[in-house]
Structure 1
Amino acid sequence: MKRALLAAVLLLAAAACGAPSTDAGGASEGTITLRVGDQKAGSQALLKAAGLLDGAPYKITFAQFTSGPPLLEAINAGAVDIGGVGNTPPIFAAAADSKIKIVAAYKQNVTGAAVVVPANSTLTSPADLRGKKIAVAKGSSSHHHLLSVLKKEGLKFSDIQPQYLQPADALAAFSGGTVDAWTIWEPFTSQAILQHKAKVLVDGTGYVNGLNFTVAAPEAVETKADAVRDYLTRLAKAREWALTHKPEWAKVWAAETGLPQEVADAAVDNAVSSPIVIDDAVVTSEQEMADAFAAEGLIPGGLKFADFVDQRFNDIVGAAR
């Protein structure tokens, strides 16, 4: 089963990387290629919106993934070099002893993370989740959000019926009425609310840390260090741009993803993020998350998150402002 999953991940990445790629301007034959794993409304769209996609002395290709866990599978397998994920995928990848390094961090509004229920749901509080079928992407940021919500109510994962689904399948299950709730992030939160009349049972306030990360393959960090540094600098500048150009970013976001403009407009406030350094507070927050997952038996115990962090690019945060 695991081999089949890995094969599927590699096939997806290879197919995406084999598609027409984005050349970061000026790259010549035989130069370095930085293979970027991306997600819906991710780095490629943001860099394009900010006008920072072109002009690098290396080539960039983008491979699209449904969420962070399969993206990190691809990094571990050597299919891509670097990519952006939420706060939880690196924990699951590290627990599996994957070959990853966290090289950049960002902070965003936590209200975009939400547990949503159908418009006609009788659930009115997190305590009502006991025994219910809840859609969640395993190993994603929403996985930790759900764990935190349950823990605060004195519940365990064994007290619910988790339905491990990627966003597209989860949306189908949610709209089709086969799950009682869905734990998700932007832009899917706004999509569920605006297109499917979902109600927010609880958002991320008081439950999640709002962190996102750029994760790289250790080999890429060592052999493509200049390209990685340049890419991270461009991405940090693009994120700073988005903070002050939300309407422009939302317009490009909608065009790039096919989302209705109203969804992109609603999601953008929660989706923009500020570059921050990977300091002790960041590492401690992630370690606490890892410990919480281990306590539930969802990952092995003993994980030391700091072992998977590379702080050599922290100076980019100041340079991007």
Structure 2
Amino acid sequence: MNAFTRYLAKITLAGSIALSMAAAAAHADDKVVRIGLQKYGTLILLKTKGLLEEKLKPQGYTVEWTEFPAGPQLLEALNVGSIDFGTTGEAPPIFAQAAGAPLVYVGYEPPAPEAEAILVPQDSPLKTLADLKGKKVALNKGSNVHYLLV
């Protein structure tokens, strides 16, 4: 078993446990687990492989996936009851809880700072982080890129 397969197995197990807990608590009548995700992270692996559906089917649950552009929007959907479970970067839950959202953390994965970047056009005069001094930077307020910039 290679490192990626072991990693995927761990993620699948952790995701299945956490989402089984969410399934038990949410929408027990219709047996649908509504999951919010973004185009990164471990949940995208579970969705792509169909592993979660496979694990929850014997319990009579189906999985409904909703993609969000960023963590703040995903957490707002969680706060208003549109989804039961989701994953975000580091900062969005802090901003959501500061705004009064009653969130519960059920898991954690190590940060992957090498997956974050500041992008500029190829011919940009900006080449280093120091070049940003005194410049304006656009970002999604309350997102993990907000955290990265800080």
TM-score greater than 0.5 by the shorter chain: yes
Q: 1:142 matched to which residue of 2?
A: 145
Contact 2:33 2:62 in 1 (8 A): yes
* Distance in structure 2 (CA, Å) of the matches to 1:79 and 1:48: 18
Following superposition, the deviation at residue 125 of structure 1 comes to 2.8
List structure 1 runs of 4+ shifted beyond 6 angstroms: none
* Distance in structure 2 (CA, Å) of the matches to 1:137 and 1:60: 28
Matched, 1:34 2:33: yes
Q: 1:103 matched to which residue of 2?
A: 106
Q: 1:46 matched to which residue of 2?
A: 45
* Distance in structure 1 (CA, Å) of the matches to 2:80 and 2:30: 22
Contact 1:44 1:62 in 2 (8 A): no
The amino acid that maps onto 1:35 is R
* Distance in structure 2 (CA, Å) of the matches to 1:44 and 1:111: 19
Following superposition, the deviation at residue 108 of structure 1 comes to 3.9
* Distance in structure 1 (CA, Å) of the matches to 2:51 and 2:102: 29
Contact 1:89 1:140 in 2 (8 A): yes
Return 5+ residue gaps in structure 2 as ranges. Answer: 1-28
Following superposition, the deviation at residue 66 of structure 1 comes to 0.5
Aligned pair in 2 of structure 1 residues 47, 111: CA closer, same or farther (>3 Å)? Answer: same
Query: Helix, strand or coil: the match of 1:133?
Result: coil
Return 5+ residue gaps in structure 1 as ranges. Answer: 1-29, 148-321
In terms of fraction of residues, the more strand-rich structure is: 1
* Distance in structure 1 (CA, Å) of the matches to 2:72 and 2:113: 20
Query: Helix, strand or coil: the match of 1:121?
Result: coil
Contact 2:43 2:87 in 1 (8 A): no
The amino acid that maps onto 1:33 is V
* Distance in structure 1 (CA, Å) of the matches to 2:43 and 2:97: 25
Query: Helix, strand or coil: the match of 1:80?
Result: coil
Q: Indicate the percent of aligned positions where both proteins have the same amino acid.
A: 42
* Distance in structure 1 (CA, Å) of the matches to 2:100 and 2:91: 15
Give TM-score scaled by structure 2 length: 0.69
Contact 2:38 2:44 in 1 (8 A): no
* Distance in structure 2 (CA, Å) of the matches to 1:85 and 1:78: 16
